[in-house]
Structure formats: structure tokens, C-alpha cells
A and B are shown apart, each in its own frame.
Chain A
Amino acid sequence: MPFDEEYYNLGRLDRLSYKNTFVHRLDPRAKLIATLLFLFTVISFSKYEVVALIPFFLFPVLLMTIGDIPFLFILKKVLIVSPFAIFIGIFNPLLDTGHVLVLSGFTISAGWFSFFSILLKFALTISAALLLIATTPFPSVCHALRRLGMPSLFVSQLLFLYRYIFVLVEEAMRIVRARDMRSFGASGTGIKVFVRIIGILFLRTIERAERIYYAMLSRGFQGDMPTFKRSHITAIDLVFVATTILFLVVFRFFSVTEGIGRIAQELFR
């Protein structure tokens, strides 16, 4: 993906997280825990499970619609990173020909089931993680991580990283653009030039870090970055997490989809 597009996407995800919807207002710790439990439940399904995974799409769909996140945006991001999973998964139908499944006349190898299962799990996990970031400003995520027990050194420099990604990527873009303008249409960078680009970027980075440090020192930096706004867990957050857990338990341990299908079959018999 071209440089500029990646940068734009980064900015867009960041801007989306500052909206003001019900989902955005939930406490970041609640959202983080709910998402992690969701991920855990989804990947705990056996490798051939397809049917029971379908209801789990309700979680990302609800987050997307209530949180006002554009569907196409999430879809595009999921599709872009899917090649790896597809590449590994595609071997399953090829290699798992042992068990053949008869379905009203069709024979399908079990390998296709496990491949499809991988694809579904992939779509669910990726969209859940993206929606967490799309509905929670990154600094809030970092503070949630610290409140949940991550070492504060790690969280502080994670925050710095985030702030300076935008600055550094712009710097890198300038350098790459300068290189492009001088390369007479030849695409790509040779190793030698690449090394020099990275070297220059590195030097500028170090100098920038020094300037940042002294700027912070002169404004009273003493090693920690306290926040003014402290988020509180409210009853709504607890209800959200409890509902999520209930949903996960019900759909994990009871085959609801099959039940619904059977009821439909009875109705139309």
C-alpha cells in the first residue's frame, strides 16, 4: 500500500475515535476487557466450527452501527490484511481430504470447513480489534492499559510513540518524495539509497528526541504523564460487560444457530 494511503488511514482511525456516541462514551477498560473476552471466545471454537460463529457477527455490527463507524472502511481494512490467513488456510482443503461430508447430495471435504472457519474467525477478530481502536482514543487505551496493570514505563513510551508517529511518518514522506523527484521515474529504492534514507531519518530522530526532552524538562517533566480526566467505571459500563459475557457464554455453549434453523424447518414442513 502506498505510503500516503497508509498515513491517511492512520489519521482516519484516529479521527473516528473522537466521535461522541454511546460506544465512544463507554469506559475504555470495559471495552478492552469485552473485546479481549470476545476474541478469546471466538478462537476457542474447534477448527471445524462454522455455523456457531455466525451469531458472533452481532458484536462488531453493533459496535459499528451504534459507534457510527463506516462499514466499508472496516471491510477494506479486513480485506487488506487477509492474504496471510488465506495463504495459510488454503492448504486445509488441499491437505485435509480424509473426512468427506455428505450434504443433500454434495460431498464437501472437511478441509473446506476448517478453511472457512479460519476466515470467519479472522474477520471477527480483526474487526473487533479495529472497532476497539475506532471507538476509543488511543491515549485512553494506554491509560486503560496502565490501570489494568501494564508497566508504566511501557505505557509512557507507547504514548510517545503514538504522538510522534504522525511527525515521523511525515518526515519520512518528505524524504521519500525528495528521493522520488530525483530518481527519474525509477520505482523502488536500492539498498544503498535506502540505508542512507534510514540513516538520515535516524539522525533526525535522535536530534528531535533531544529537543523534545529538553522542551519537556523546561515545562516540568518529571518522568510521569498524569492525566487530568480520570475515567470512572459507571453502572452502564458494568451492564455492557455483563451483557457481553452473557452473550458470549450463551452463543459459545449452546448451538443457537442450529436451533433456529431447526425451528424454521419445523415451521415450514
Chain B
Amino acid sequence: MHMADALLSPAVGTTIWAGTLAAMGYASKKMKENFDDKIIPLMGVLGAFIFAAQMINFTIPGTGSSGHLGGGMILAIMLGPYAAFLVMASVLTVQALFFADGGLLALGCNIWNLGIYPCFLVYPLIYKPLVGDSRSPRRILVASLVSVVAALQLGAFSVVVETLWSGKSELSFGTFVLLMQPIHLAIGIVEGFVTAGVINYVRNARPEILESITASRPLGAEISVRKVMITFVVLAVVTGGALSWFASTHPDGLEWSIEKVTGTSELPTQEHGIAPVLKGIQEKTAFLPDYNFSPASTEEKKKEESASWPVIEAGTSVAGIVGSAIVLGMVMLIGLVIRSFKRRHT
């Protein structure tokens, strides 16, 4: 499921875009290290392939409804993590631009959800260890199933986290999760079968093709300890973000005990001495005071929430509606005038 701009807040969108851009830069750098020119047309054409494949629907057995391929896992298995990530990123970019499938700001989130998880997490940590060096179709099937399901679950869960973090939807965490995860479980199972099927098919029909891709794959496209470490950092950030959502707003242990002892939840501030100076410096440099984004934005949020309530005053809300109608009319008028102006002059 592709994230939409309208459900995203600027803070979440830019944060994840930053992560995605960093990942794209990193993947490009790694690929340039041992570069075979041949990989560029291969990547581009495989991207177009994923695109075309996504347009072909298949019927899900038993339900009669149709589904279509995601493709991240197939790419990761065929091309290795770095190339697959870049290809997936470009497929999603074209989808966002030409098919309005997910917005431009949400593109960062979509590339993260549908690219990072299959290529950088699931492929090195789940698929490769499960498959090892074996060529048995059954091994590949099991590995594909587990990998695809895991990747899709992570992606779906991220959509939930991103939407909730943005605060534009009223859906509670529980409801949203119950909506997203089972659907993607079903999709994942089917796609797992398809992925394994394609790999086995290609291996049977033209095994040398897979060998030649692996040969032109840049060296160092396999996992390293560093990669696993980075993975765990990523996981920590994601879980930290999600779990902090649930962090109790009750005062934590220390503040609670202080409150019990002195009657206030914070120690009284010193008026003189070095402490106030340091406190001043800390206030100015604290990037995330109280574990929120800077006070400016929380103030803004509070102001916005209270600013949305003046609409309750009947006077301004009528003015709002009247103003909206007028502005809408003006916009349409401008549009029609320009249109007829153009028609007359061509």
C-alpha cells in the first residue's frame, strides 16, 4: 500500500526522506566501487520489467480477487541489495510521478517501506541465511515465503507508524494494525510463491542467465558485519519511534520519586552559580527537549489545535464558508478566462 501525501505531516515526511536519500547515496557509492557499466541498462530494463509485471494481475486462489507483484524481493535476490534498492526506488518514483501512486513527499516513505526492508534487512538477514548455497526448489520456496511475508509486514507496519506519527488520521493504532497486517500477510504469502516460482523457473530454463547477472554484480554486494550493525541501528530507530508513541506520559521513576519527596516534580533551579549558565546553554542547544521536536513546533501544534477551535464561533465559520465560495469562484473564473484566452489565440 502506498503512503499518500495527504496523510503525512512535513516532519515525518522530511525525516524519512532524509533517511531514504542517505540510503540511496550509500547504495550508489557502494555500486560505483566495483563497477561494471553493463549493470546500468540491466537495472533500468529490470525496473521496466517490474513495472510491466506489476500491470499483470493474477487471481488469488480461493478468493477470486486479483493481486499484483511488489517485486522488491525478486530484485534483491537477482541483483543484490544495492542495485535492487536503486531499481525499486526508480520504479516507485515513476509510479509516483506518472500514476499518482503515492505523493512526492510520501515517495521517501514509500521507498523506505518497499525498498529498504526487502533489500537491506530481509535479504541479508533472512533470505540469504535460509537459502545458503542450496539450489533445492523447496529451500528457495520456504526462504522466499518467509522473506516476502517479513518484508511486507515490516512495510505495512511502517505505514501505520508513519500515519500515526503524522497525526492526520483518527484511526487508533490497534485498528489500523488489524487492518493492514492481515491483508499484507495474505498478499505476502502469494507473492512469496510467485517469487520462488519465478526464480525456480529461470533457474530451470536458463541457469546461465542467473550466473551472468551474479558475475556482473559488483563485488561486495554481499553482507558484511558492518551492514548488520547498520541494520540494527535502523531497527532501533524504528522501534524507538514506535514505542515512544506509547511511552507513558506519567512522570518517569526519577521524577515520581522527586515529587514524592519534595512535592514538586523537578528540583528547584539555582539562581546563581554555574548551574543556570549551563542550563541556559542546554536549553539553547537541546535538539529534542522533552523528547519532542523543538518547543516551537509543539507550541505551534497547540496553537493550531486551539486555532482550529475558533471555528466554533458561528461568526468566523460563516465568514469562512462565504470566503471559500468566493475564492473558489475566483479561481474557477481565472481558469476559464485563461482557457478561453488561449483558445482564441491558437
Contact = CB atoms under 8 A, between A and B. Distances in A.
Interface of A: 3, 6-7, 10, 13, 35-36, 39-40, 42-44, 46-51, 54-55, 57-58, 61-62, 64-66, 68, 77-78, 80-81, 84-85, 88-89, 91-92, 95-96, 99, 101-104, 110-111, 113-114, 117-119, 121-122, 125-126, 129-130, 132-133, 138, 141, 150-154, 156-165, 167-169, 171-172, 176, 188-192, 194-199, 201-203, 205-206, 208-209, 212-213, 216-217, 221-223, 256-262, 264-265
Given A201-B53, A258-B319, A258-B323, A154 B86 contact: yes
A54 B327 CA distance: 7
Given A66-B338, A161-B91, A260 B323 contact: yes
B46 A130 contact: no
A122 B104 CA distance: 12
A141 B202 contact: no
A118 B6 contact: yes
A201 B44 contact: no
Contact of B28 (A122, A151, A199): A151
B105 A84 contact: no
Given A95-B171, A122-B5, A151-B29, 15 more contacts: A118-B168, A129-B97, A161-B91, A163-B44, A171-B52, A191-B190, A191-B193, A201-B49, A203-B206, A205-B46, A205-B49, A206-B209, A212-B41, A216-B41, A261-B318
Contacts of B168: 47, 114, 117-118
Contacts of B314: 102-104
Nearest to B210: A206
Q: Which 9 A-B pairs have the closest CB atoms?
A: A160-B44, A261-B323, A195-B197, A151-B28, A199-B201, A261-B319, A188-B59, A261-B322, A125-B5
Nearest to B196: A195
Query: What is the predominant secondary structure among interface residues of chain A facing chain B?
Result: helix
Contacts of B87: 157, 161
Interface of B: 1-2, 4-10, 13, 24-25, 28-29, 31-32, 35, 37-38, 40-49, 51-53, 55-59, 61, 66, 69, 86-87, 89-91, 93-94, 96-101, 103-105, 163, 167-172, 175, 190, 193-194, 197-198, 201-202, 205-206, 209, 213, 301, 304-305, 307-309, 311-312, 314, 316-324, 326-328, 331-332, 334-335, 338-339, 342
Given A130-B100, A154-B28, A190-B61, A51 B46 contact: no
Contacts of A117: 168
A262 B6 contact: no
Given A46-B305, A118-B168, A261-B323, A151 B25 contact: yes
B100 A129 contact: yes
A167 B46 CA distance: 12
26 contacts: A43-B10, A46-B305, A81-B100, A104-B318, A133-B98, A153-B28, A160-B48, A161-B87, A164-B44, A172-B53, A176-B56, A188-B58, A189-B59, A190-B59, A191-B194, A191-B197, A197-B56, A199-B205, A203-B205, A212-B41, A212-B45, A221-B37, A223-B37, A260-B327, A261-B322, A262-B319
